């Protein structure tokens, strides 16, 4: 049976895969696992619960709250807030557990359940597995005063914004920003943060109705933001996703500034302030070769991990590094948070523009993004992708052809019977040609 928890919690079609019953059972199981591990010793436990504005989040969060309270955990219901806000509040309020109901950048019909441990960090795989194994087991229910109490917290959003403002390195006065909130969890707090930081702010995708999250707006749909930035004559635009744990940007001409470029800009800014620990940036194997070349030129080491922000964070914590992230816009700054934070990223990027007096296009020009082609080869034996002789020979030939000026990566999917073929090259035509040829080899030799 497939593992219920993925790299970012439990996610699927709401009310089919992710049901109220599942949400309640997982919450009760989480309470029992953490209690047995001694997490609640000596005190009455409490949890922070938040959600994005999806319609399904209303009943799913109610189920989570009910499950936790029925297991004797007091609950602080913070309502609609970004994922990084829930992680921050879990740490700041010294909660024993945090729970976020969101499917991030997925379409509205999906939803998900993400747990945070004490301190605001994602649960370890071992704890997640224990929760999955214990859901639905018989248990002795607390009664009377031992049941959990539930209260709403209407100041949580202000507390989170105040936290972000407290780490602002330079005010945004004179900077015109368009923010695309994806009709998501940051629709209220993102404009407030940027305005309080001094920016002139225009908002798109900021009217959530429970049904329109990520629908044509946000970090996976940049067209409206690009058009708005150009039409309004803004200095830059920032696009969040549904739960605001990622951020992409566009410059004044409407050109994309992706997560790799954002990390390059922030890495140089942090080093300038003496805050880039060990002069090291942590990125995944999917980051563009242009980032690696630019950081090498600037004397910054790049540590690479498997794809997934949890793997980036694990390496950052083990190496005590301060900056890491993904091309998709998950950027983690461990000095200020325990997970990717799109609002923090947007604020710091705009702050760099204000502080330097340079345009975003100029700042992002520190790296040249090489053309990148990705082909998903389906219905193949992904387990053999890294050891099949003919496939390895084809990869070696492609790397020789690129002669150090490009990159080849074959990555088995973590959830589907497919292999992702990624090629970077100086010219888009060459990248496409090499990727097409490799895809044919993978399809021929690994077919199921």
Query: Does 104 participate in catalysis according to the annotation?
Result: yes
User: Among positive and negative, which fits the CA dihedral 318, 322, 326, 328?
Assistant: positive
154 is an annotated ligand-binding site residue: no
Element (H, E) at 160: helix 156-165
Cα 314 to its chain centre, rounded Å, is 14
400 is an annotated ligand-binding site residue: no
CA distance 295 to 78: 40
DSSP letter string, 358-393: --HHHHHTTS----EEEEEEESB-GGGTTT-HHHHH
- DSSP3 helix / strand / coil % (the chain, rounded to 5): 40, 20, 40
**What region, left, alpha or beta, does residue 246 occupy, with left being phi > 0 and alpha being psi -120 to 50 degrees?**
beta
Cα 262 to its chain centre, rounded Å, is 14
102 is an annotated ligand-binding site residue: no
Q: Which of 104, 219, 287, 322 is catalytic?
A: 104
Sheet holding 247-251, edge to edge: 200-204, 176-180, 236-240, 247-251, 256-257
Element (H, E) at 112: strand 110-117
Measured CA angle at 167 (ends 161, 170), to 5 deg: 105
Cross-strand pairs, 220: none
| 190 close to 244: Cβ distance less than 8 angstroms | yes
Residue 267 DSSP SS3? helix
104 is an annotated ligand-binding site residue: yes
CA distance 405 to 368: 12
Annotated catalytic sites, by residue?
104
Q: Tell me the binding residues.
A: 104, 241, 243, 245
Residues annotated as binding site for Mg(2+)? 104, 241, 243, 245
């Amino acid at each position: 049976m497939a593992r219920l928890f993925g790299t970012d919690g439990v996610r699927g079609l709401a009310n089919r895969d992710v049901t109220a019953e599942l949400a309640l059972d997982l919450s009760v199981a989480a309470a029992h696992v953490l209690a047995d591990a001694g997490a609640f010793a000596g005190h009455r436990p409490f949890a922070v619960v938040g959600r994005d504005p999806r319609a399904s989040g209303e009943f799913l969060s109610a189920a989570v709250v009910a499950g936790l309270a029925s297991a004797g955990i007091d609950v602080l219901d913070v309502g609609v807030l970004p994922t990084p806000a829930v992680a921050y509040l879990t740490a700041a309020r010294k909660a024993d557990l945090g729970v976020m109901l969101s499917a991030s950048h997925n379409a509205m019909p999906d939803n998900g359940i993400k747990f945070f441990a004490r301190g605001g960090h994602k649960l370890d795989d071992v704890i997640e597995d224990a929760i999955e194994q214990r859901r639905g087991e018989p248990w002795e229910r607390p009664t009377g005063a031992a049941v959990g109490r539930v209260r709403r917290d209407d100041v949580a959003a202000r507390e989170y914004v105040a936290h972000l403002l407290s780490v602002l390195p330079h005010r945004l006065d004179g900077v015109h920003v368009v923010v695309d909130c994806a009709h998501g969890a940051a629709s209220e707090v993102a404009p407030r943060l940027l305005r309080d930081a001094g920016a002139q702010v225009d908002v798109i995708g900021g009217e959530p109705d429970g049904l329109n999250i990520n629908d044509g707006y946000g970090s996976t749909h940049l067209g409206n933001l690009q058009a708005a930035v150009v039409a309004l004559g803004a200095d830059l635009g920032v696009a969040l996703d549904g739960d605001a744990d990622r951020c992409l940007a566009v410059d004044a001409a409407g050109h994309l500034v992706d997560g790799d470029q954002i990390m390059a800009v922030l890495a140089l800014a942090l080093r300038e302030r003496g805050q880039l620990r060990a002069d090291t940036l942590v990125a995944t194997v999917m980051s563009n070769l242009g980032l690696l070349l630019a950081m090498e030129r600037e004397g910054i080491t790049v540590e690479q991990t498997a794809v997934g922000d949890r793997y980036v964070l694990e390496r950052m914590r083990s190496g005590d590094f301060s900056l890491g992230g993904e091309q998709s816009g998950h950027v983690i700054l461990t000095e200020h948070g325990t997970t990717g934070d799109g609002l923090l990223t947007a604020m710091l990027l705009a702050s760099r523009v204000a502080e330097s007096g340079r345009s975003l296009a100029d700042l992002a020009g520190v790296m040249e993004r090489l053309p990148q082609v990705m082909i998903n080869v389906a219905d193949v034996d992904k387990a053999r992708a890294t050891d099949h002789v003919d496939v390895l020979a084809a990869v070696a030939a492609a790397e020789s052809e690129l002669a150090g000026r490009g990159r080849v990566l074959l990555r088995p999917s973590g959830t589907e019977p497919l292999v992702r073929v990624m090629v970077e090259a100086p010219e888009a035509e060459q990248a496409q040609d090499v990727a097409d040829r490799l895809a044919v080899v993978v399809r021929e030799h690994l077919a199921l």
